[in-house]
Chains A and B, each alone.
Chain A
């Protein structure tokens, strides 16, 4: 109950409700300082000392299966479009919430996770209960280099999740038309891409037109976060998603949310400037655009 109340509070006012609990662990990695904050109830991974807005990943210590962040729930919306992917690629590990949850939901799916920072992998395993089993592999390398490498093999994924961006820093080569085209090529037929992205800055416009240029229409799930669900085939209908939602009703409820709450966010409307500039390998100032207010 207490956890539920906390989740509710966080969902309503994520920044205001959060006061940093004690620091449990911190280590300097090749890329950043990694902080783990926590108390008896929650534990969070942060890349900044003040992590009011920079929480990468959080778990409820006593119920690690419950999803604390709405964006993770929205990412699982991908399963409403393809309920049974036999293999999944996740770019960006964080605290390991996505692969851990997907591993429980789909025990026979092969899950490849790419994480650039070895320290993040260590911290996920030691502090966030992330234990990759025989079906899961973690690759410590750059996401784009991995995608390029996999394109030379026969490996194709029915589901690819992009979770490598955070509000402090965006790897700009992972947010360009060329990269998304490579991701699209790495999808199996009727594959789904789920991307955890941005909703508040000027980048929203550029990001939207870039996804649109590569995938055509996509589901734009928006609340405090924004998740894009796209496909390399015509987008599955909401009716179809609703049927799959029935199948996941019990499983998602056990994770702490109802599929219908996600389903109600499925929207294909265009609420951005279609004339915004598409991001390419030649033009990719994602961080500069992200630091400018939305217009």
Chain B
């Protein structure tokens, strides 16, 4: 149960990041277009955020790591993407008026809207690796499995969002659903940790 929640959270976090990235492209397009610059800016910002998140996640795992804290990270990632829902369009309107250049405008917009939720999501994988690893001999194996789950989740998030979800739901509805899943998973993980299962 304990290990299953770790894998589940890592997989979901991968899904969440790629879902957010694809929807980010859709949210920015009305303001900056969908030229190669806009996608370049979005991808660069997500990669930068993930890299910072990995660093922060590894660091956070040094002091008293627990499943509950991991659940908290997932919750914070969800909460920090709320501004996208609440005032994404208003912010994009302002930025596009202020920096109309599609390169730097979209870079700034992607930084303000997606840097935080993506960086916090990036903390999940290294943190989960720490919780999985019992000894030095199995650490590579465990890390490999975790990266598999997390990146597989990313692939699923990319495909499901772009092939199916956008056909049935509005962008903000998809975001809300993803937030709901994050909250539910955090709660579940919180309870698992409390049930005494090591």
Residues of A at under 8 Å CB distance from B?
A: 30-31, 116, 141-145, 148-149, 152, 171-173, 176, 178-179, 280-285, 288-289
Contact = CB atoms under 8 A, between A and B. Distances in A.
Given A142-B35, A145-B102, A282-B171, A176 B30 contact: yes
Interface in B124-150: none
B19 to A, nearest CB: 15
A173 B167 contact: no
Majority SS at the chain A contact face: loop
B31 A148 contact: yes
A141 B30 contact: no
B55 interface: no
B100 A149 contact: yes
A142 B32 contact: yes
A178 B30 contact: yes
B32 to A, nearest CB: 6
B166 A142 contact: no
Contacts of B167: 285, 288-289
Contacts of A288: 163, 166-167
A144 B36 contact: no
Contacts of A281: 26, 29-30, 171
A282 to B, nearest CB: 4
A173 B29 contact: yes
Given A142-B102, A152-B97, A280 B170 contact: yes
A12 to B, nearest CB: 35
A-B pairs, 4 with minimum CB distance? A142-B33, A173-B29, A282-B170, A145-B33
A176 B33 CA distance: 13
A142 B100 contact: no
Given A152-B97, A282-B172, A141 B166 contact: no
A173 B34 contact: yes
A147 to B, nearest CB: 10
Contacts of B170: 280, 282-283
18 contacts: A116-B35, A143-B33, A144-B30, A145-B35, A145-B102, A148-B31, A148-B100, A152-B97, A171-B34, A172-B26, A172-B29, A173-B33, A281-B30, A282-B170, A282-B171, A283-B166, A284-B166, A288-B167
A293 to B, nearest CB: 15
B35 A173 contact: no
A116 B166 contact: no
Contacts of A142: 32-35, 38, 102
B158 interface: no
Nearest to A29: B36
A141 to B, nearest CB: 7
Contacts of A284: 26, 166
A137 to B, nearest CB: 18
A173 B167 CA distance: 15
B96 interface: yes
Given A172-B29, A280-B170, 11 more contacts: A116-B35, A142-B32, A142-B33, A142-B34, A142-B102, A145-B32, A173-B30, A173-B34, A281-B26, A282-B170, A288-B163
Contacts of A148: 31, 96, 100
A143 B97 CA distance: 16
A288 B96 CA distance: 28
B30 A285 contact: no
Of B30, B96, B163, B171, the most chain A CB neighbours within 10 A belong to B30
Contacts of B171: 281-283
B97 A144 contact: no
B96 A144 contact: no
Nearest to A178: B30
A48 to B, nearest CB: 19
Nearest to B30: A281
B168 to A, nearest CB: 9
Nearest to B165: A285
Of B26, B35, B167, the most chain A CB neighbours within 10 A belong to B35
